[in-house]
Structure formats: C-alpha cells, structure tokens
Structure 1
C-alpha cells in the first residue's frame, strides 16, 4: 500500500456523517489515518438522531481498506465530548488530530429567534468545538509532560457567514462561527507549548444540507468536471493542516472550490484622533470623514457572483423574503 500523508495519525472528526465531515473522514482514511467518525445523526436543526449515519461512513471506510470506528455522542454534551476522545484512545491508543466540523442551524430573524434556538446553535457550534478541544488538550498535556513529543493538531471549522458575510437570519450561526475563529487563535497561543497546532478552515459556498436552499447551490457541472461547490473540496485543505509536517498554527483559511485564502480577521482601519475626550458634536463631524462599509453592499459583493444578485434592491428583497419565511415558520416573542 502506498504511504499516505496521514499514516499513523489517529483523527477524531465531529459531524462526520454527512457533508463536509463525511468527505473529510473518507479523505483522511484514504491518506492512512485511523478515524473516529462522530455524528449523532441529527437533522439540520439538531433534532432527532440516527446512529446509522456514522455507522455507514465507517462501513465505507472499512470497505476501502481503512480503519474507523463510530461514535454518536453530541459535542454539546460536555461528557459526550470526553467520551469521544476516550473512544479514540481505547480503539487506537492515541489521538493526534481533532477536526471540529459539527454544526446545526436555526435560521430566523432576530425579532423571532427564541432563546432556546439561539442557545442550541451556540451549544453545538461554539461550546461543542471548545468541549472537544478541551478534553483532547488535557490528554495532550499529559502526554507532553510524560515526554511524548509528537505533533498534535486541531482543525476547527468556521464559515463565511460569521467571518466575511454574516447572513440575515443567521445571528446564532454567524456568531458561533466568528467565535470559533477567535477561539482558534487563542488555542494556538495556549496549546503550542504542548506541541499542538490549532488552525481553522472556513468553507464558502459548499453544497451541504445547510446550503441546498440557497439559489444556485443545486446546480452541478457536467460529469467529469471539477465541481467547486462539492464538499470534497474542503477535505485536502483540512488534511494538510492535520499533517505532522504542516508548520501553520493560528490561521483561518477560507476555502471556495480550488481557492484557499488566508483570512486576517478584524483589522484596524482608518481613524480620527483628538488629544483629549471627544464631544458628541465633534464626533458627529469627524466620523463622517471615515470610509465605512455598507453591509448590504458588502454582502451583495460577496454573494453576487454565485447567486446572480444585482444591487441593493434585490438583496433587500431577498433579506425580506428570508425574514418573512422565519416569521411564518413559527417565530415567537418568547
């Protein structure tokens, strides 16, 4: 068998039953990794559960000659996150890489989004990412203090909705993804002392259950042509970040088809200055001098090429339609 870029690496991938996570699990296994396929098999909104979802990916990996086990714990469960880390240790004797891919969505305008809906998304996207890394980090710290100097890696997953173009009706999803990117940098700074690198991929316009309702996402190229919207395009980037030879840490990489872009996050722009405290009137005059982004224009620019949107009017119509849909689907003031 040919050597793979991940030979000898034990990898835990959350949300690995479908979409991007499934493609990562298959790709990592093909590169020689032993994989823990975590997925409780829930719906897009986090409800329900189906253990056969993770099991099917494991069967596919094993049928191709790879090694994998299934885990159906939820990342939102603090001790469930611990159990999935322990499952890797029991099955394969170690854990080298965590790929945090699990997420859910509850799309509704801020006037209709309920406390429970907001909390559920944050629990999976943000707290879940933290919980899995936390339990993995405790194991890695113990191994490092025992003299084990093996490269370890975390690959988090964010989204363009949160980093580049937060989308209407995605207050919780965008906030969670932005939080994951910030936590990636914190993790890199903290865990490097134990030989752990922490990076993040940010898929943009990938065809998954979460994006199928976006206009244009269901269109596929002719057979045999590269499909830039296929979730498989994310897997090689995540795999590179997981390799022992990768030098990167603290980086957030956007991935759209064959393009990989380094993100620089929030950065300082133009400013006004005064030696002393401002008055409201002074600020009213001076702030007008600063160049600022119009959020509608920025979103139209980010989505225009893919969605065929043209101008602020059409974008506002799309936003209104999304908000109206959220109201009709049961938004409550509670």
Structure 2
C-alpha cells in the first residue's frame, strides 16, 4: 500500500518535508479481534506536528520509520475470526485506542487509561496510509448521513473537545458563562458541543479574526480578540467575576495565565492544549477554590454520543481535504496556521 512515512524527527519543524510518500507493508490480521480498515479519511492534528518534533519520544516507545495518523475513519476491509457486529464494507469511525477490554479501566469504559493499549499513529502505524490495523472494540458503525472523510477528525479533535465541553456543561446553568480559548480545529467543535448541551453564554477568545467569525457561526455569543486586552474584555462580559468554566484549547504561552485569570472563584479551568506550564501559588488555590481539570481525548461511549450529535446536525466539522501524497503540504499548512478547522488526508 501507499503511506506517508515519518523517517526522522525535526525539532524545529524547519525542514519543510516531514514525511515521505512511499510503498509500505500492508497491515495484517494478527489477532482474532483485529480489523483492517480501508482509510476514507485521516485527520491531520497538531499532535502530529508534536510527534515530528520528537516531543512524544519520552511518552511512548516507537521506532522510526513509522506511519502517523491517529484520527481515522473508513470501511471494514478484513477482520479476524472472533470479530462480530460488523461486516466487510461497513463504514466505521475508529476510536483512537485499541484495547483488550479486560483490565479494570477498560471495564469501567475508561479506555484512555487502559493497562495495555495500542495507539495507532502514536505508538504504532496509523492512518496516513491506505489501510489501518485496529481492533473490534474501537469501531463505531457510521449512520448513512456521515461519510468517513467528513468525520475522521472527530476521533481525536472532536472527541477531546466533546469530553471537555461535556464535563463543563454538567455544571453550567442559564445565566452563567463559559469561555473557550482557541477557536481552531478543536475549539470550533467545543463551542458547538457547549451550545448543544447547556444554556450558558459562550465567550470565544482567539487572535484570528477568521477563527472568531467561525466561532460565532458555530454558536459563540461573544467574540474577543486576543490582542493584549482580552482579560479585561472577558471580565467586562462576565460582570467582573470571570467565567464559571474556562476551556483552554491552546495550553501554552500566555493562554494558561489568562485562562486561570478568566476563571471565577469556585470555577473550573479545563486544560486541553499543552506545551505550557501551570504556575499558581497554593494560597491562591485555597482562597479562590478554583479547580484545574485535565482532558485526555475521550471514551468510546463519548465518541458514540458525539456521532449522535453529528447525525442530528447539531455538530458540524469544518474540514479541508488533501490527497494522501500531499501530506507534507497539509502538515505545513497546519504549522503555519493556514488551516481553518481540520485538515483531512484522502488516500
């Protein structure tokens, strides 16, 4: 098969050529519960850029060369002898984790913290290719209204945004505020999820006028440009108190300190983006009673819930399509901020 293969790390992302489009071994059925998926779409994620930078080397064991791509959807191509519930040709979306289902975390539905797991695109060959090996437990059959190429990025970007927004929505009441920092590939989904799940007023903060416009189209009630005065503007909107929930899809630079400052006393700051540091005196934590909550992708049931929202038209994913052989261009465009929404590779 053809694949876009990562051969070397580029810590500065300065080479301009991150992957090579080449012949690569077809994935094989190795377990009775394995499924081979013919890729219909593979999302291009900022995490992929972090993989190229080598940031994930300390977290996972992977040997180069290998195939990135952890946001995948397509059609069942082949399956192991123990697989039930799907048949060849079924359109499916793939939860990013492949787990056995036997450990306590799996049995509780908390796949992201399974004792043993495989993460295609992170620590195993992923979907920047024509075919992908995954597992039966990872598959969700798609309704006729949703095409694989249109939903592939939901498996990480959408699912991560959904998980954070769902957590926040459980505590948000009419008359309260939710601030979303970053209206890009994750943020524009998080805004739609918040609008679908709660009645709080949604405030979006971003430095891009294009992103702010997209955010308002997605349901944000207030748009604030990150130009140095964003904290003052958010406090003005929230009547000087800050927001009950702040979801930070940036997680680096000034966003962290700003996000915590935008969170009202007894409110919650949800961290999604990463790369920065949280520094807060313990006295401030005690006196403000603010909560800081991390978010790591999401569970299989949450992906089912997100597909239900998409099927009903309550969440729409803005995508830009690239051919698989143009994976370098997609990664470069993402790196340079030229992708509105999510980039998707089509084999």
Name the TM-score, length of structure 1 as normaliser: 0.26
Larger Rg: 1
Which protein is richer in strand relative to its size?
2
User: Highest relative contact order (Cα 8 Å, sep 6+), 1 or 2?
Assistant: 2
